[in-house]
Amino acid sequence: MAKPSEPTGDSHVAVLAFPFGTHAAPLLAVTRRLASSSPSTVFSFFNTAQSNSSLFSSSDDLPANIRVHDVPDGVPEGYVFSGKPQEAIELFIESAPESFKREIVAAEKEVGRKVKCMLTDAFFWFAADMATEMNASWIAFWTAGANSLTAHFYTDLIRETIGVNEVGGRMEETLGFISGMEKIRVKDTQEGVVFGPLDSVFSNMLHRMGRALPRATAVFINSFEELDPTFTANLKSEFKRYLNIGPLALLSQWEASVNDPHGCLAWMEKRPPGSVAYISFGTVMTPPPGELAAIAEGLESSKVPFVWSLKNMVHLPKGFLDRTREQGIVVPWAPQAELLKHEATGVFVTHCGWNSVLESVSGGVPMICRPFFGDQRLNGRAVEVVWEIGMTIINGVFTKDGFEKCLDRVLVQDDGKKMKRNAMKLKEQAHEAVSSKGSSSVNFRGLLDAVVNI
Protein backbone atom coordinates (compact mmCIF):
# COMPACT_ATOMS: atom_id res chain seq x y z
CA MET A 1 0.00 0.00 0.00
CA ALA A 2 2.75 2.40 -1.00
CA LYS A 3 1.73 5.99 -1.56
CA PRO A 4 3.06 7.51 -4.79
CA SER A 5 5.14 10.66 -4.57
CA GLU A 6 7.98 12.33 -6.41
CA PRO A 7 9.92 14.41 -3.88
CA THR A 8 13.27 15.77 -4.97
CA GLY A 9 16.51 15.29 -3.07
CA ASP A 10 18.14 12.01 -2.15
CA SER A 11 17.40 11.13 1.48
CA HIS A 12 15.48 7.91 2.15
CA VAL A 13 14.53 6.95 5.71
CA ALA A 14 13.23 3.49 6.68
CA VAL A 15 10.81 3.72 9.61
CA LEU A 16 10.33 0.41 11.44
CA ALA A 17 7.27 0.23 13.70
CA PHE A 18 6.52 -2.21 16.52
CA PRO A 19 2.92 -3.24 15.74
CA PHE A 20 1.63 -3.95 19.27
CA GLY A 21 0.16 -1.84 22.06
CA THR A 22 0.49 1.91 21.62
CA HIS A 23 3.89 1.85 19.91
CA ALA A 24 3.19 2.46 16.21
CA ALA A 25 0.97 5.55 16.63
CA PRO A 26 3.54 7.82 18.32
CA LEU A 27 6.24 6.71 15.86
CA LEU A 28 3.89 7.64 13.01
CA ALA A 29 3.19 11.01 14.67
CA VAL A 30 6.93 11.75 14.80
CA THR A 31 7.36 10.55 11.20
CA ARG A 32 4.62 12.95 10.08
CA ARG A 33 6.38 15.87 11.75
CA LEU A 34 9.72 14.92 10.22
CA ALA A 35 8.17 14.43 6.76
CA SER A 36 6.43 17.81 6.92
CA SER A 37 9.68 19.45 7.98
CA SER A 38 11.73 17.76 5.22
CA PRO A 39 9.53 17.38 2.11
CA SER A 40 12.45 16.24 -0.07
CA THR A 41 13.07 13.17 2.12
CA VAL A 42 11.19 9.93 1.45
CA PHE A 43 10.00 8.11 4.59
CA SER A 44 9.15 4.44 4.02
CA PHE A 45 6.96 3.36 6.96
CA PHE A 46 7.06 -0.41 7.63
CA ASN A 47 4.41 -2.02 9.84
CA THR A 48 2.09 -5.05 9.80
CA ALA A 49 -1.07 -4.83 7.71
CA GLN A 50 -3.26 -5.16 10.80
CA SER A 51 -1.49 -2.34 12.64
CA ASN A 52 -1.44 -0.15 9.53
CA SER A 53 -5.19 -0.62 9.05
CA SER A 54 -5.76 0.68 12.58
CA LEU A 55 -3.48 3.70 12.00
CA PHE A 56 -4.73 4.85 8.60
CA SER A 57 -8.17 5.56 7.26
CA SER A 58 -9.02 5.99 3.57
CA SER A 59 -9.37 9.72 4.20
CA ASP A 60 -6.00 9.96 5.95
CA ASP A 61 -4.14 13.04 4.79
CA LEU A 62 -0.56 11.78 4.80
CA PRO A 63 2.32 13.98 3.65
CA ALA A 64 3.18 12.98 0.06
CA ASN A 65 6.68 11.84 1.07
CA ILE A 66 5.50 9.10 3.45
CA ARG A 67 5.06 5.69 1.81
CA VAL A 68 3.32 2.99 3.83
CA HIS A 69 4.38 -0.66 3.50
CA ASP A 70 2.99 -3.85 5.03
CA VAL A 71 5.38 -6.39 6.56
CA PRO A 72 4.44 -9.97 7.53
CA ASP A 73 3.26 -10.52 11.10
CA GLY A 74 5.40 -13.65 11.45
CA VAL A 75 2.45 -15.99 12.03
CA PRO A 76 2.97 -19.15 9.91
CA GLU A 77 0.12 -20.21 7.66
CA GLY A 78 -2.32 -22.45 9.52
CA TYR A 79 -0.72 -21.63 12.88
CA VAL A 80 -2.93 -22.26 15.90
CA PHE A 81 -2.28 -19.94 18.85
CA SER A 82 -1.79 -21.72 22.17
CA GLY A 83 -2.95 -18.70 24.17
CA LYS A 84 0.30 -18.09 26.03
CA PRO A 85 1.12 -14.41 26.83
CA GLN A 86 3.03 -12.45 24.18
CA GLU A 87 2.79 -15.30 21.64
CA ALA A 88 2.01 -12.95 18.72
CA ILE A 89 4.86 -10.63 19.76
CA GLU A 90 7.33 -13.54 19.91
CA LEU A 91 6.37 -14.78 16.44
CA PHE A 92 6.73 -11.27 15.03
CA ILE A 93 10.10 -10.60 16.69
CA GLU A 94 11.55 -13.90 15.47
CA SER A 95 10.66 -13.14 11.85
CA ALA A 96 11.13 -9.33 11.93
CA PRO A 97 14.84 -8.96 10.98
CA GLU A 98 14.47 -10.89 7.73
CA SER A 99 11.02 -9.45 6.96
CA PHE A 100 12.22 -5.87 7.38
CA LYS A 101 15.37 -6.48 5.30
CA ARG A 102 13.33 -7.93 2.44
CA GLU A 103 10.78 -5.10 2.44
CA ILE A 104 13.47 -2.41 2.68
CA VAL A 105 15.20 -3.79 -0.44
CA ALA A 106 11.87 -3.66 -2.29
CA ALA A 107 11.26 -0.08 -1.11
CA GLU A 108 14.74 1.01 -2.20
CA LYS A 109 14.04 -0.28 -5.71
CA GLU A 110 10.65 1.43 -5.79
CA VAL A 111 11.98 4.78 -4.55
CA GLY A 112 15.25 4.57 -6.47
CA ARG A 113 17.28 5.57 -3.41
CA LYS A 114 19.27 3.62 -0.86
CA VAL A 115 18.11 3.95 2.75
CA LYS A 116 20.52 6.25 4.59
CA CYS A 117 18.76 6.26 7.97
CA MET A 118 16.93 3.61 9.99
CA LEU A 119 14.36 5.23 12.30
CA THR A 120 13.00 2.44 14.48
CA ASP A 121 11.18 1.53 17.64
CA ALA A 122 13.93 1.05 20.21
CA PHE A 123 12.72 -2.54 20.78
CA PHE A 124 14.43 -3.50 17.50
CA TRP A 125 17.95 -4.03 18.84
CA PHE A 126 18.82 -5.85 15.58
CA ALA A 127 18.52 -2.53 13.73
CA ALA A 128 22.03 -1.68 15.00
CA ASP A 129 23.52 -4.49 12.87
CA MET A 130 21.15 -3.87 9.96
CA ALA A 131 22.17 -0.20 9.83
CA THR A 132 25.86 -1.13 9.89
CA GLU A 133 25.37 -3.60 7.02
CA MET A 134 23.47 -0.97 5.01
CA ASN A 135 25.95 1.81 5.80
CA ALA A 136 23.06 3.75 7.32
CA SER A 137 22.58 5.53 10.63
CA TRP A 138 20.32 4.06 13.33
CA ILE A 139 17.99 6.31 15.33
CA ALA A 140 15.92 4.66 18.06
CA PHE A 141 12.61 5.82 19.54
CA TRP A 142 11.83 4.78 23.11
CA THR A 143 8.08 5.31 23.43
CA ALA A 144 8.00 5.26 27.24
CA GLY A 145 9.76 7.29 29.95
CA ALA A 146 13.36 7.89 30.97
CA ASN A 147 12.87 5.80 34.12
CA SER A 148 12.06 2.56 32.26
CA LEU A 149 14.73 3.22 29.62
CA THR A 150 17.27 3.61 32.43
CA ALA A 151 16.21 0.30 34.00
CA HIS A 152 16.71 -1.54 30.70
CA PHE A 153 20.00 0.22 29.98
CA TYR A 154 21.39 -0.74 33.40
CA THR A 155 19.90 -4.26 33.53
CA ASP A 156 23.32 -5.92 33.79
CA LEU A 157 24.38 -3.58 36.62
CA ILE A 158 21.09 -4.15 38.47
CA ARG A 159 21.46 -7.92 38.11
CA GLU A 160 25.07 -7.84 39.32
CA THR A 161 24.17 -5.66 42.33
CA ILE A 162 20.84 -7.19 43.36
CA GLY A 163 21.14 -10.71 41.98
CA VAL A 164 18.41 -12.56 40.14
CA ASN A 165 17.87 -15.84 41.95
CA GLU A 166 17.48 -14.64 45.54
CA VAL A 167 15.75 -11.35 44.76
CA GLY A 168 12.71 -12.08 46.96
CA GLY A 169 14.24 -10.61 50.12
CA ARG A 170 15.52 -7.50 48.36
CA MET A 171 12.32 -6.27 46.69
CA GLU A 172 12.01 -3.25 49.03
CA GLU A 173 15.61 -2.09 48.46
CA THR A 174 16.14 1.04 46.39
CA LEU A 175 18.35 1.37 43.32
CA GLY A 176 20.38 4.29 44.65
CA PHE A 177 23.49 3.05 42.83
CA ILE A 178 21.92 4.39 39.59
CA SER A 179 21.61 8.13 39.11
CA GLY A 180 17.93 9.17 39.35
CA MET A 181 16.73 5.89 40.89
CA GLU A 182 17.29 6.78 44.52
CA LYS A 183 13.56 6.40 45.33
CA ILE A 184 12.90 3.46 43.00
CA ARG A 185 12.61 0.04 44.63
CA VAL A 186 13.58 -3.32 43.13
CA LYS A 187 9.88 -4.29 43.08
CA ASP A 188 9.05 -1.23 40.96
CA THR A 189 11.20 -2.42 38.04
CA GLN A 190 9.81 -4.15 34.96
CA GLU A 191 9.47 -7.91 34.71
CA GLY A 192 12.55 -9.31 33.00
CA VAL A 193 15.06 -7.04 34.71
CA VAL A 194 15.67 -9.07 37.90
CA PHE A 195 12.43 -11.01 38.38
CA GLY A 196 9.79 -12.61 36.20
CA PRO A 197 10.53 -14.54 32.98
CA LEU A 198 14.14 -13.44 32.43
CA ASP A 199 14.68 -15.76 29.45
CA SER A 200 11.50 -15.03 27.49
CA VAL A 201 11.76 -13.65 23.95
CA PHE A 202 10.36 -10.34 25.18
CA SER A 203 12.77 -10.04 28.14
CA ASN A 204 15.74 -10.93 25.93
CA MET A 205 14.63 -8.34 23.38
CA LEU A 206 14.66 -5.60 26.03
CA HIS A 207 17.97 -6.77 27.51
CA ARG A 208 19.64 -6.78 24.09
CA MET A 209 18.09 -3.38 23.34
CA GLY A 210 19.66 -1.90 26.49
CA ARG A 211 23.07 -3.15 25.39
CA ALA A 212 22.65 -2.01 21.76
CA LEU A 213 21.38 1.57 22.27
CA PRO A 214 24.83 3.17 22.80
CA ARG A 215 25.50 2.25 19.15
CA ALA A 216 22.59 4.42 17.95
CA THR A 217 23.31 7.77 16.30
CA ALA A 218 20.53 9.15 18.51
CA VAL A 219 17.96 7.90 21.01
CA PHE A 220 14.82 9.99 21.43
CA ILE A 221 11.83 9.70 23.75
CA ASN A 222 8.32 11.07 24.24
CA SER A 223 9.05 13.21 27.29
CA PHE A 224 10.57 16.57 28.22
CA GLU A 225 13.89 17.24 29.91
CA GLU A 226 12.45 19.15 32.85
CA LEU A 227 10.36 16.16 33.98
CA ASP A 228 13.40 13.98 34.70
CA PRO A 229 16.50 16.22 34.75
CA THR A 230 18.71 13.65 36.51
CA PHE A 231 17.87 10.89 34.02
CA THR A 232 18.31 13.36 31.18
CA ALA A 233 21.83 14.34 32.29
CA ASN A 234 22.82 10.71 32.87
CA LEU A 235 21.50 9.32 29.57
CA LYS A 236 23.09 12.21 27.67
CA SER A 237 26.41 10.99 29.04
CA GLU A 238 25.71 7.35 28.03
CA PHE A 239 24.30 7.79 24.49
CA LYS A 240 25.81 9.56 21.48
CA ARG A 241 22.74 11.78 21.39
CA TYR A 242 19.74 11.68 23.72
CA LEU A 243 16.72 13.81 22.85
CA ASN A 244 13.44 14.46 24.69
CA ILE A 245 10.93 15.69 22.08
CA GLY A 246 7.57 15.51 23.94
CA PRO A 247 4.96 15.56 25.20
CA LEU A 248 3.68 14.45 21.79
CA ALA A 249 0.09 14.95 23.03
CA LEU A 250 0.73 18.71 22.99
CA LEU A 251 1.93 18.56 19.38
CA SER A 252 -0.74 16.47 17.63
CA GLN A 253 -1.78 19.03 15.06
CA TRP A 254 -3.32 16.24 12.95
CA GLU A 255 -6.28 15.91 15.31
CA ALA A 256 -8.24 18.63 13.55
CA SER A 257 -11.58 17.66 15.06
CA VAL A 258 -12.12 15.97 18.41
CA ASN A 259 -13.77 12.57 18.21
CA ASP A 260 -16.25 12.41 21.11
CA PRO A 261 -19.03 10.01 20.07
CA HIS A 262 -20.48 9.65 23.59
CA GLY A 263 -20.65 13.34 24.48
CA CYS A 264 -18.14 13.24 27.34
CA LEU A 265 -16.95 16.82 26.86
CA ALA A 266 -20.50 18.21 26.74
CA TRP A 267 -21.21 16.35 30.01
CA MET A 268 -18.05 17.84 31.56
CA GLU A 269 -19.19 21.40 30.80
CA LYS A 270 -21.85 21.12 33.51
CA ARG A 271 -19.40 20.14 36.29
CA PRO A 272 -17.46 22.43 38.66
CA PRO A 273 -13.70 22.89 38.12
CA GLY A 274 -11.54 20.09 39.56
CA SER A 275 -14.50 17.93 40.61
CA VAL A 276 -14.58 15.00 38.16
CA ALA A 277 -12.76 11.66 38.42
CA TYR A 278 -11.78 10.38 34.98
CA ILE A 279 -11.16 6.61 35.01
CA SER A 280 -9.41 4.63 32.28
CA PHE A 281 -6.97 1.72 32.22
CA GLY A 282 -5.84 1.86 28.60
CA THR A 283 -6.46 -0.58 25.77
CA VAL A 284 -4.46 -3.60 26.97
CA MET A 285 -5.51 -4.26 30.57
CA THR A 286 -8.76 -4.26 32.54
CA PRO A 287 -8.86 -4.68 36.34
CA PRO A 288 -10.32 -8.02 37.49
CA PRO A 289 -14.10 -8.19 38.11
CA GLY A 290 -13.83 -7.72 41.87
CA GLU A 291 -11.84 -4.51 41.45
CA LEU A 292 -14.27 -3.15 38.84
CA ALA A 293 -17.07 -3.69 41.33
CA ALA A 294 -15.02 -1.96 44.05
CA ILE A 295 -14.42 1.07 41.80
CA ALA A 296 -18.16 1.32 41.11
CA GLU A 297 -19.05 0.99 44.80
CA GLY A 298 -16.43 3.57 45.80
CA LEU A 299 -17.70 6.03 43.21
CA GLU A 300 -21.33 5.59 44.21
CA SER A 301 -20.58 5.92 47.91
CA SER A 302 -18.28 8.95 47.50
CA LYS A 303 -20.75 10.84 45.24
CA VAL A 304 -17.76 12.09 43.18
CA PRO A 305 -18.79 12.99 39.59
CA PHE A 306 -17.11 10.63 37.11
CA VAL A 307 -16.40 9.75 33.49
CA TRP A 308 -15.40 6.08 33.23
CA SER A 309 -14.03 4.66 29.98
CA LEU A 310 -14.88 0.95 30.13
CA LYS A 311 -15.49 -1.33 27.15
CA ASN A 312 -17.20 -4.22 28.96
CA MET A 313 -19.70 -3.20 31.61
CA VAL A 314 -20.84 -6.71 32.53
CA HIS A 315 -19.07 -6.73 35.92
CA LEU A 316 -20.58 -3.50 37.23
CA PRO A 317 -22.90 -3.97 40.23
CA LYS A 318 -26.56 -4.50 39.37
CA GLY A 319 -28.37 -1.18 39.08
CA PHE A 320 -25.15 0.87 39.31
CA LEU A 321 -25.69 2.68 36.00
CA ASP A 322 -29.26 3.62 36.92
CA ARG A 323 -28.42 4.76 40.43
CA THR A 324 -25.51 6.96 39.24
CA ARG A 325 -27.21 8.37 36.14
CA GLU A 326 -26.97 11.93 37.51
CA GLN A 327 -23.53 11.44 39.05
CA GLY A 328 -21.49 10.13 36.12
CA ILE A 329 -21.25 8.36 32.78
CA VAL A 330 -19.69 5.05 31.73
CA VAL A 331 -18.67 4.97 28.06
CA PRO A 332 -16.86 2.40 25.89
CA TRP A 333 -14.40 5.05 24.67
CA ALA A 334 -13.51 8.61 25.71
CA PRO A 335 -11.33 11.41 24.22
CA GLN A 336 -8.68 11.06 26.93
CA ALA A 337 -6.27 13.86 26.02
CA GLU A 338 -9.14 16.37 25.81
CA LEU A 339 -10.68 15.20 29.10
CA LEU A 340 -7.33 15.58 30.85
CA LYS A 341 -7.07 19.15 29.55
CA HIS A 342 -10.57 20.00 30.82
CA GLU A 343 -10.74 22.21 33.90
CA ALA A 344 -13.52 20.06 35.41
CA THR A 345 -11.18 17.05 35.71
CA GLY A 346 -9.86 16.75 39.25
CA VAL A 347 -8.19 13.33 39.23
CA PHE A 348 -7.18 10.66 36.72
CA VAL A 349 -7.57 7.03 37.87
CA THR A 350 -5.06 5.19 35.68
CA HIS A 351 -2.95 2.08 35.06
CA CYS A 352 0.06 4.40 34.64
CA GLY A 353 1.00 3.57 31.07
CA TRP A 354 3.50 6.19 29.89
CA ASN A 355 1.22 7.90 27.36
CA SER A 356 -1.51 8.23 29.98
CA VAL A 357 0.89 9.61 32.61
CA LEU A 358 2.31 12.16 30.18
CA GLU A 359 -1.17 13.27 29.07
CA SER A 360 -2.12 13.74 32.74
CA VAL A 361 1.07 15.73 33.39
CA SER A 362 0.33 17.86 30.30
CA GLY A 363 -3.12 18.61 31.70
CA GLY A 364 -1.93 19.29 35.27
CA VAL A 365 -4.16 16.51 36.65
CA PRO A 366 -3.18 14.48 39.77
CA MET A 367 -3.40 10.69 39.54
CA ILE A 368 -4.59 7.65 41.48
CA CYS A 369 -2.45 4.80 40.15
CA ARG A 370 -3.22 1.11 39.81
CA PRO A 371 -0.21 -0.36 37.91
CA PHE A 372 -0.40 -3.87 36.43
CA PHE A 373 2.83 -4.73 34.59
CA GLY A 374 5.85 -3.46 32.66
CA ASP A 375 6.85 0.15 33.28
CA GLN A 376 3.56 0.96 35.02
CA ARG A 377 4.95 0.32 38.52
CA LEU A 378 7.95 2.57 37.82
CA ASN A 379 5.64 5.31 36.55
CA GLY A 380 3.30 4.94 39.54
CA ARG A 381 6.24 5.20 41.92
CA ALA A 382 7.43 8.38 40.16
CA VAL A 383 3.92 9.89 40.34
CA GLU A 384 3.78 9.23 44.08
CA VAL A 385 7.27 9.85 45.50
CA VAL A 386 9.39 11.54 42.82
CA TRP A 387 7.04 14.12 41.27
CA GLU A 388 4.48 13.98 44.15
CA ILE A 389 1.52 14.47 41.80
CA GLY A 390 -0.64 11.57 42.94
CA MET A 391 -0.75 8.31 44.85
CA THR A 392 -0.82 4.57 44.29
CA ILE A 393 -4.04 2.81 45.27
CA ILE A 394 -3.93 1.62 48.89
CA ASN A 395 -2.42 -1.91 49.14
CA GLY A 396 -2.08 -2.07 45.35
CA VAL A 397 -5.65 -3.17 44.53
CA PHE A 398 -9.05 -1.46 44.46
CA THR A 399 -11.34 -1.92 47.43
CA LYS A 400 -14.45 0.19 48.02
CA ASP A 401 -13.06 1.83 51.18
CA GLY A 402 -9.53 2.18 49.85
CA PHE A 403 -10.72 3.89 46.66
CA GLU A 404 -12.98 6.24 48.62
CA LYS A 405 -10.03 7.26 50.82
CA CYS A 406 -7.88 7.92 47.73
CA LEU A 407 -10.57 10.06 46.11
CA ASP A 408 -10.98 12.04 49.32
CA ARG A 409 -7.25 12.53 49.75
CA VAL A 410 -6.65 13.76 46.19
CA LEU A 411 -9.83 15.81 45.69
CA VAL A 412 -10.43 17.21 49.20
CA GLN A 413 -7.47 17.00 51.57
CA ASP A 414 -4.55 19.45 51.78
CA ASP A 415 -2.28 16.67 50.57
CA GLY A 416 -4.29 16.58 47.33
CA LYS A 417 -4.04 20.36 46.95
CA LYS A 418 -0.23 19.99 47.10
CA MET A 419 -0.40 17.28 44.41
CA LYS A 420 -2.44 19.63 42.24
CA ARG A 421 0.09 22.48 42.69
CA ASN A 422 2.95 20.15 41.74
CA ALA A 423 1.00 18.86 38.74
CA MET A 424 0.33 22.42 37.55
CA LYS A 425 4.04 23.25 37.77
CA LEU A 426 4.88 20.26 35.57
CA LYS A 427 2.10 21.25 33.16
CA GLU A 428 3.68 24.70 32.77
CA GLN A 429 7.09 23.12 32.15
CA ALA A 430 5.61 20.71 29.59
CA HIS A 431 3.98 23.53 27.64
CA GLU A 432 7.16 25.60 27.85
CA ALA A 433 9.19 22.62 26.53
CA VAL A 434 7.15 22.43 23.30
CA SER A 435 7.10 26.19 22.72
CA SER A 436 9.25 27.46 19.83
CA LYS A 437 12.35 28.00 21.98
CA GLY A 438 11.63 25.22 24.51
CA SER A 439 13.86 22.23 25.13
CA SER A 440 11.69 19.73 23.21
CA SER A 441 11.46 22.01 20.16
CA VAL A 442 15.24 22.45 20.15
CA ASN A 443 15.63 18.68 20.52
CA PHE A 444 13.21 18.00 17.66
CA ARG A 445 15.32 20.17 15.39
CA GLY A 446 18.31 18.10 16.52
CA LEU A 447 16.41 14.91 15.66
CA LEU A 448 15.49 16.30 12.24
CA ASP A 449 19.14 17.10 11.62
CA ALA A 450 20.19 13.57 12.65
CA VAL A 451 17.55 11.94 10.40
CA VAL A 452 17.90 13.91 7.16
CA ASN A 453 21.39 15.42 7.17
CA ILE A 454 23.32 12.19 7.08
State the catalytic residues: 23, 121
**CA–CA separation, 127 and 273 (whole Å):** 48
Look up residue 184 and give its amino acid. Answer: I
Q: What is the amino acid identity at position 150?
A: T
CA distances to 316, 393, 442 from 360, rounded to whole Å, are 26, 17, 23
Quote the CA–CA distance of 425 and 423 in Å, as a whole number. Answer: 5
d(CA 360, CA 379): 12
3-state secondary structure of 241: coil
Cα 320 to chain centroid, rounded: 32
State whether residue 405 is helix, strand or coil: helix
CA distance 146 to 148: 6
CB count, 10 Å around CB of 36?
Answer: 13
How far is Cα 178 from Cα 188, in angstroms, rounded to an integer?
Answer: 14
Cα gap 395→379, rounded to integer Å:
17
Q: Which of 232, 273, 295 is nearest to 363 (CA)?
A: 273
Phi, psi (deg, nearest 5) at residue 13:
-115, 130
**What does the alpha-carbon distance between residue 142 and residue 358 come to, in Å, rounded to a whole number?**
14
Contacts of 335 (CB under 8 A, 6+ apart): 258, 259, 260, 264, 265
Phi and psi at residue 132, to the nearest 5°: -60, -45
DSSP 67-106: EEEEE-----TT------TTHHHHHHHHHHHHHHHHHHHH
| CA 362/CA 340 separation, integer angstroms | 8
Closest-CA residue to 190 (of 348, 404, 371): 371
User: What strand order describes the sheet that includes 306-309?
Assistant: 328-331, 306-309, 276-280, 345-350, 367-369, 390-392
At residue 417, the 3 state secondary structure works out as helix
